[in-house]
Amino acid sequence: MSKLWGGRFEGATDALVEALGESVSFDARLAPWDIQGSLAHAAMLGSCGIISEADAATIQSGLKEVLADIEAGKLAWDPALEDVHTNIEVALVAKVGDAGKRLHTGRSRNDQIATDVRLWMREQIDSIVTLLARLQEALLDCAESHQDLILPGYTHLQPAQPVLLAHHLLAYVEMFHRDAERFRELRRRVNVLPLGSAALAGTPYPIDREQVARELGFDGITRNSMDAVADRDHLIEFVSDGALVMMHLSRISEELILWSCPQFGFIEIGDAFTTGSSIMPQKKNPDVAELVRGKTGRVYGDLNALLTLMKGVPMTYNRDLQEDKEPLFDASDTVQLCLEVYARMLPAISFNREAMAEATLAGFMEATDLADYLVTRGVPFREAHGIVGQVVRHCLATENTLPRLPLQEYQRFSPHFGDDIHSFLQAETLVARRNHPGGTAPVQVHQALHNARERLAAYRG
* Percent of the chain residues topping a pLDDT of 90: 93
Q: Are residue 165 and residue 295 in the same domain, yes or no?
A: yes
Average pLDDT value for residue range 140-168: 97
Interior angle at CA 67, CA 206 and CA 239, nearest 5: 80
At a CB cut-off of 8 Å and minimum separation 6, what does 132 contact?
Answer: 176, 177, 179, 180, 183, 245, 339
Find the domain containing 311 and state its range: 110-146+153-203+217-357
Q: Does residue 450 form part of some domain? A: yes
Contact 330, 302 (CB under 8 A): yes
Task: Report d(CA 453, CA 447) in Å as an integer.
Answer: 10
Average pLDDT of span 340-357? 97
69 and 174 both lie in a single domain: no
pLDDT bucket at 18, cuts 50 / 70 / 90: confident
Q: Does residue 306 contact residue 324 with C-beta atoms inside 8 Å?
A: yes
Q: Are residues 179 and 272 in the same domain?
A: yes
Residue 314: phi and psi, rounded to 5, are -75, 165
- CA–CA dist 142, 397 (Å, integer): 40
Residue 210: inside a domain, yes or no? no
Calculate mean pLDDT across residues 390-394.
97
Q: Tell whether 40 and 160 lie within a shared domain.
A: no
Distance of CA 393 to the CA centre of its chain: 46
Q: Contact at 8 Å (CB) between 276 and 283?
A: yes
State the pLDDT at residue 440: 98
3-state secondary structure (DSSP) of residue 402: coil
Q: What is the DSSP-derived secondary structure letter of residue 365? A: T
Residues 450 and 417 reside in one and the same domain:
yes
CA 261 to chain centroid, in Å, comes to 27
Regarding whether 29 and 82 lie in a shared domain, the answer is yes
Examine the domain organization and report whether 347 and 423 are in the same domain: no
Pair (166, 302) in one structural domain: yes
- One domain, residues 266 and 383: no
φ, ψ for residue 157 (rounded to 5)? 60, 25
At residue 4, the pLDDT reads 59
Query: What value does the CA radius of gyration of the chain take, rounded to a whole number of Å?
Result: 31
pLDDT by residue (tens digit) across 25-54? 999 999 999 999 999 999 999 999 999 999
Q: Are 206 and 48 in contact (CB under 8 A)?
A: yes
**How open is the CA angle 302-306-310, to the nearest 5 degrees?**
170
Last residue of a domain, one of 357, 378, 395: 357
The answer as to whether 6 is a domain residue is no
Say whether 277 is catalytic. Answer: yes
Q: CA 277 to CA 343: how far, in whole Å?
A: 25
Examine the residue annotation and report whether 38 is marked as an active-site residue of this protein. Answer: no
User: Do residues 227 and 294 both lie within one domain?
Assistant: yes
Q: What is the pLDDT of residue 365?
A: 93
On whether residue 94 sits in a domain, the answer given is yes
Per DSSP, which regions of 92-188 are E strands? Answer: 150-155, 158-164
pLDDT at 152 over 70: yes
Range in 2-11, 107-116, 127-136 with the lowest mean pLDDT: 2-11
Residue 233 within a domain: yes
To the nearest whole number, what is the mean pLDDT of the chain? 96
Has residue 106 got a pLDDT over 50?
A: yes
Catalytic residue selected from 25, 145, 277, 350: 277
Please check whether residue 218 is in contact with residue 193, taking contact to mean a CB–CB distance below 8 angstroms.
yes
- The domain that holds 287 is classified in CATH as 1.20.200.10
- Note the residue count of the chain: 461
Helices (DSSP H) in 146-217: which residue ranges?
Answer: 165-190, 209-216
Single out the residue in 49, 72, 105 at which a domain terminates. Answer: 105
Q: Which of 357, 386, 411 is the last residue of a domain?
A: 357
The model's confidence at residue 7, banded by pLDDT at 50, 70 and 90, is: low
128 with 83, same domain?
A: no
Task: Tell me what pLDDT residue 154 has.
Answer: 96
**CATH number of the domain encompassing residue 371:** 1.10.40.30
316 prior amide bond cis, ω within 30? yes
Cβ proximity of 245 and 132 under 8 Å: yes
Average pLDDT over residues 169-191: 98
In a domain, 8, yes or no: no
Tally the domains of the chain. Answer: 3
Q: Mean per-residue pLDDT for 68-84? A: 97
The answer to whether residues 122 and 64 belong to one domain is no
Q: Report d(CA 59, CA 46) in Å as an integer.
A: 10
CA nearest neighbour of 287 among 270, 265, 310, 311: 270
Could you tell me how far CA 330 lies from the centroid of its own chain?
Answer: 13
CA distance 62 to 345: 45
Residue 1's pLDDT is: 45
**Taking the CB of residue 437, how many other CB atoms lie within 10 A of it?**
9
Residue 212 in any domain: the answer is no
Residue 1 lies in a domain: no
